[in-house]
Amino acid sequence: MRSDHQKLGFYLLIAPLLLWLVLLILLPHLGLFIVSISEKVGVREYETGFGNYAAFFNEPLYWRTFARTAIMSILATALTLILGFPIAYYIAKLTRGRTKTTLFMMCLIPFWVSELVRTFGWMILLRETGVFSQTLQYLGLTAGPIEFLYNDAAIMVGLVYTSILFMIVPLVTTLDSLDDSLVEAGYDLGGNGYSILREIVIPHAMPGIVSGCIVVFMLSLGNYLTPILLGGKDSLWFTGMIYSQFITRFNWELGSAFGFLLLALSSAVVFIGLKLSRQSLSETMGR
Amino acid sequence: MNTPDLECRDLVKDFDDFRAVDHVSFDVPQGSFFSILGPSGCGKTTLLRMIAGFQEPSAGDLLIKGRSMVGVPPNKRPVSMVFQHLALFPTMNIGDNVGFGLRQRGVGKSEIKDRVEQVLARVGLPGVSGRRVDQLSGGQKQRVAIARCMVLEPDVLLLDEPLGALDLKLREHMKIELKSLQAEFNTTFVYITHDQSEALVMSDNIAVMNHGRFEQIGSPHDVYYNPATAFVAGFVGEANRFEGKVVEASDGILSVETTGGARLRVTVPENGLSSGQRVQVYLRPEAIALSKSAPAADPSANGGQGIVESVLFNGANSMVILRDATSGATLSVTLPQTGAFTGLSKGDTVFTRWTADQARSYPLAEA
């Protein structure tokens, strides 16, 4: 009897998780996959086949956008890591007590407003009549207004800004657990700043680096708002392409195929990243 | 006369308004084992970190092999440090840990491999270089930490209470092992500890530190039998302490009347004490002889009668706490292990006897 009760309790506790997984992840993806392998041959007439996937590979615009999105996301991830690592190191190792909490909060505060508002903030700074352009004109450094928006650099700035917190948090956590005496021992044995960073700090922080990179890469790859708003109409981000297939062209079949290709891409990049850094997913996410 | 390996001259370290190290001077000759013994918070770790280069002295000079080290960063000093928790790099295997310092010096790969194997063999761990740090036992990690420093052939090896985390049996074993490793490498060791037995067993010389100052520097024998100050007498080894007043000083013998009313006869210390001065007297528990029957009266010795309050059984280190019949003061006495006192129990009456030269007396600071 007792074990029956325990079993019931277990199933009740796991039910929300199972419902979530099945209803919101498994079923939609299954539906999406079925849609993606149906080809429209006439009005309400469909055939099963991989024609939608073939369409992607036959149209250079599609797969070039796809590759561009992947490369830009990898670049954004690398930039976020390069910018986030010193910040995280400073917070975790060089500050204590209240300063530490304050600095951490300062990183966190921008994330209390929606991504949309934050992106508009960047538009106010970067647009032709924006703060940067006005300042440069006022200082007499340029003759006319400059448009900083609607180029790849603006997209990159936005992507790094929106995702840097997700790099800093795991990095601070792993760097916090690095014993100061390990760094001191490194110096004591004749190491210099660079060799200690390479041989002691980075190997220790590797799980944090990898989990931060995975999250930032996924966020950048799946970002829709930032590339559209900061990159303008011609930004060519793959999520934008999926959106236009679904909403503008009502071509759900091709849109679904795109969705699946994006899923495959992110999985592949994460897999390669884990292999290259010799980390395992359970190890990096388990922290 | 050779230049000492390590020399400190009037070393001072201030933190804001707190003086952690206060005018410390000492030198350590080549190949000797020097311990700094003191309670926690006495400044010994700060002193060691200054020698290693992690902290800069506020004043004074620090010389290694006659060369001033002030302003020299830790990675450029010919000293290595064994950290309290050893600080072995968990992300590297044993071989990479030991080879770390050599890699920083740009030594060739095959030479690093040979030297790492050699030093591991010397600390008694041949062939472990492929293992991970967490695959070794506590004592083995200790030896790897020493090997990691010794492979660089430092002039001075600093050890920051490395035995603190080990269990008792292993600690006893490692004491002997550390001493023999030091003899084997013939390197100068500077060892800091709060454990007096570690310092007494291993050291050639001990410095007893308190409140940032050195109270005494001497051989373990000296520090134990001729403590220079009341602090050393109380900190190193067990001691009974009495407070009292000098009532008479003659023929090198002081007569002290304790606050409990007992009369003690003690040898006059070197710095001299005069009649009327308040003093504190320290007496080692093992300096007191016990007997079951009253000994023959001896005016040159101290004697008394006590009632057993409790017997603290601790094998060879068993003690008995007595209450003195005349003064009512408690007295701990080492229980002789000859079998004569096996049946001693609470309430028994015993006689004590100790000679005047066994006790040490120091002036008591006026409150």
| Average pLDDT rounded to a whole number, residues A169-196 | 91
- pLDDT category at B366 given cuts 50, 70, 90 is low
On whether both B47 and B154 belong to a single domain, the answer is: yes
Phi, psi dihedrals of residue B131, rounded to the nearest 5°: -80, 160
pLDDT > 90? residue B35? yes
Kindly state the percentage of chain B with pLDDT values over 90.
31
> Residues of chain A with pLDDT > 70: what percent?
98
A95 CA: distance to closest CA in chain B (Å): 18
pLDDT of residue A286: 55
| B364 class by beta-carbon count within 10 Å (0-12 exposed, 13-18 middle, 19+ buried) | middle
Judged by CB atoms closer than 8 Å, whether chains meet at B81 and A185 is answered as yes
The two structure tokens encoding residue A287: 């922290």
Indicate the helix (H) or strand (E) that contains A6.
helix A2-19
Residues B210 and B292 in one domain: no
Do B223 and B83 sit in the same domain of this protein? yes
The pair of three-digit structure tokens given for residue A191, joined into one six-digit string: 């190491």
Q: pLDDT value at position B1?
A: 52
Which residue's structure tokens are 């989990």? A211
Residue B265 lies in a domain: yes
Q: Which of A30-34, A154-158, B181-185, B297-301 has the lowest mean pLDDT?
A: B297-301
Burial degree of A218 (CB within 10 A; 0-12, 13-18, 19+)? middle
For the purposes of burial, counting CB atoms within 10 Å of the CB of B93, is it exposed (0-12), middle (13-18) or buried (19 or more)? middle
Q: How far lies A97's CA from each of A82, A91, A105, A166, B27, in Å?
A: 25, 10, 13, 22, 39
B215 within domain boundaries: yes
CB neighbours (10 Å) of residue A172?
25
Flag whether pLDDT at A131 surpasses 70: yes
Cα A136 from Cα A74, distance rounded (Å): 32
Does residue B106 belong to the interface with chain A, where contact is any CB pair within 8 Å?
Answer: no
Please determine, for residue A278, whether its predicted confidence score (pLDDT) is greater than 90. no
| Residue numbers of A between 197 and 256 with CB closer than 8 Å to B | 199-200, 203-204, 206
Residue of B45, B46, B75, B85 to mutate when probing chain A, most A C-beta within 10 A: B75
pLDDT at residue A47 in the model: 82
Among B201, B234, B267, which residue terminates a domain?
A: B234
Task: Identify whether B1 is part of a domain.
Answer: no
Residues B305 and B227 placed together within one structural domain of the fold: no
Helix, strand, coil shares of chain A as percentages rounded to 5? 80, 5, 15
The two three-digit tokens of residue B203, written as one number: 């050291």
Is the pLDDT confidence value at A193 over 50?
yes
Domain ranges of chain A: 60-285
Model confidence at A217: pLDDT above 90: yes
Indicate if the pLDDT at residue A74 is higher than 90.
yes
Which CATH number do you get for residue B344? 2.40.50.100
Picking from A104, A86, A24, A69, the residue whose alpha carbon sits closest to that of residue A243 is A69
pLDDT bucket at B25, cuts 50 / 70 / 90: very high
Instruction: Output b/e per residue, B255-288; b: 16+ Cβ within 10 A.
Output: bbbbeeebebbbebbeeebeeebbbbbbbbbebb
Q: Is the model's pLDDT at A227 over the cut of 60?
A: yes
Predicted local confidence at residue A285, as pLDDT: 63
Tell whether B38 and B115 lie within a shared domain: yes
Residue A137, min C-alpha distance to chain B (Å): 48
Residues B87 and B130 in one domain: yes
The predicted-structure confidence for B101-115, as pLDDT tens digits, reads as follows: 999 999 999 999 999
Task: Taking residues B112-136, report their average pLDDT.
Answer: 90
Q: For residue B276, what are the domain limits?
A: 238-363
| B252: closest CA of chain A, how far (Å) | 53
Whether B219 and B270 map to the same domain: the answer is no
pLDDT at position B247 is: 85
Q: Is A190 on the interface with B (CB under 8 A)?
A: yes
Identify whether residues B216 and B288 lie together within a single domain.
Answer: no
Contacts of B152 in chain A (CB under 8 A): 189-190
Among B54, B87, B101, select the one facing A190 at the smallest CB separation: B101
Phi, psi (5° rounding) for residue B226?
A: -125, 60
How far the first Cα of chain B sits from its last, in Å, is: 46
In chain A, pLDDT over 90 holds for what percent of residues? Answer: 35
Q: What letter represents residue A189's amino acid?
A: L
- Report whether pLDDT(B270) > 80: no
Residue B326: pLDDT band with limits 50, 70, 90: confident
Q: What is the pLDDT of residue B342?
A: 81
Mean pLDDT of A90-95: 91
Q: Burial-class residue A231 by CB neighbours within 10 Å (0-12, 13-18, 19+).
A: buried
CB distance B239 to B233 below 8 Å: yes
Q: Is residue B36 located within the same domain as residue B85?
A: yes
**Chain A, chain B: beta-carbon pairs less than 8 Å apart:** 64
Give the sign of the dihedral formed by CA B340, CA B344, CA B350, CA B356. Answer: positive
Residues in Cβ contact with A241 at an 8 Å cutoff, skipping those fewer than 6 apart: A62, A65, A258
Q: Is residue B340 part of a domain?
A: yes
Look at chain B and count its residues: 367
Q: Is residue B309 part of a domain?
A: yes
- Return the residue in A174, A178, A188 with the most chain B beta carbons within 10 A, the one to mutate for interface testing: A188
For residue B85, give the nearest of A181, A188, A200 by CB distance: A181
CB of A182 within 8 Å of any CB in chain B? yes
Q: In the listed set B214, B234, B254, which residue is the last one of a domain according to the structure?
A: B234
Q: What is the ipTM of this complex?
A: 0.80
Measured distance CA(B119)–CA(B151) in Å, rounded: 6
Q: Where do we find the tokens 């996937």?
A: A53
Does B274 or B210 have the greater pLDDT score?
Answer: B210
Query: How far apart (Å, rounded) are the C-alpha atoms in residues A208 and B212?
Result: 41
Task: Mark whether B121 and B267 lie in a shared domain.
Answer: no
- DSSP one-letter code for B186: T
A199, A186 contact by CB (below 8 A): yes
pLDDT of residue A2: 63
* Mean pLDDT, residues A244-251 taken together: 88
Do B219 and B104 sit in the same domain of this protein? yes
If we measure between CA atoms, which residue out of B270, B288, B297, B260 comes closest to residue B359?
Answer: B288
Strand order in the sheet with B263-267: B263-267, B253-258, B240-250, B278-283, B360-363
Output the six-digit token pair for A37: 């392998």
pLDDT score, position A1? 55
Q: pLDDT tens-digit profile of B57-82?
A: 999 999 998 889 888 999 899 999 99
The span from the CA of A282 to the CA of A207, in Å, is 10
Res. A13: pLDDT tops 60: yes
Report percent pLDDT > 70 for chain B.
98
Q: Please identify among residues 161-220 of chain B the ones whose CB lies closer than 8 Å to any CB of chain A.
A: none
- Answer for the pair A223, A239: CB distance below 8 angstroms, yes or no: yes
Of B234, B269, B285, which one is at a domain's C-terminal end?
B234
Residues B209 and B243 in one domain: no
Verdict on whether the full-model pTM lies above 0.95? no
Asked if residue B89 is part of any domain, the answer here is: yes
Q: How far, CA to CA in Å, does A19 sit from each of A15, A16, A24, A28?
A: 6, 5, 8, 13
**Partners of residue B73 in chain A, C-beta under 8 Å:** 187
Paired with B82 in beta bridges are: B159
- A194: chain B residues, CB-CB within 8 Å: none
- CATH for the A60-285 domain, from 1.25.40.10, 3.30.70.660, 3.30.479.30, 1.10.3720.10: 1.10.3720.10
Walk across the sheet containing B67-68 and list its strands. Answer: B18-28, B6-15, B59-64, B67-68
Q: What is the pLDDT of residue A202?
A: 92
pLDDT at B367 exceeding the cut of 50 = no
B19 assigned to some structural domain:
yes
Average pLDDT over residues A137-143: 86
User: How many Cα atoms occupy the beta-carbon half-sphere of A164 within 13 Å?
Assistant: 20
Using one digit for the tens of pLDDT, what is the confidence trace for A31-51? 988 888 888 777 777 888 888
Q: Is the pLDDT of residue A206 over 60?
A: yes
Question: Which of A218-227, B6-15, B120-129, B270-279 shows the lowest per-residue confidence on average (mean pLDDT)?
Answer: B270-279
Q: What span, in angstroms and rounded, lies between the C-alpha atoms of B158 and B145?
A: 11
Q: Label residue B306 left, alpha or beta by phi (over 0 means left) and psi (-120 to 50 means alpha).
A: beta
B104 occurs within a structural domain = yes
d(CA A59, CA A250): 18
> Between chains, do A199 and B89 touch, taking CB under 8 Å as contact?
yes
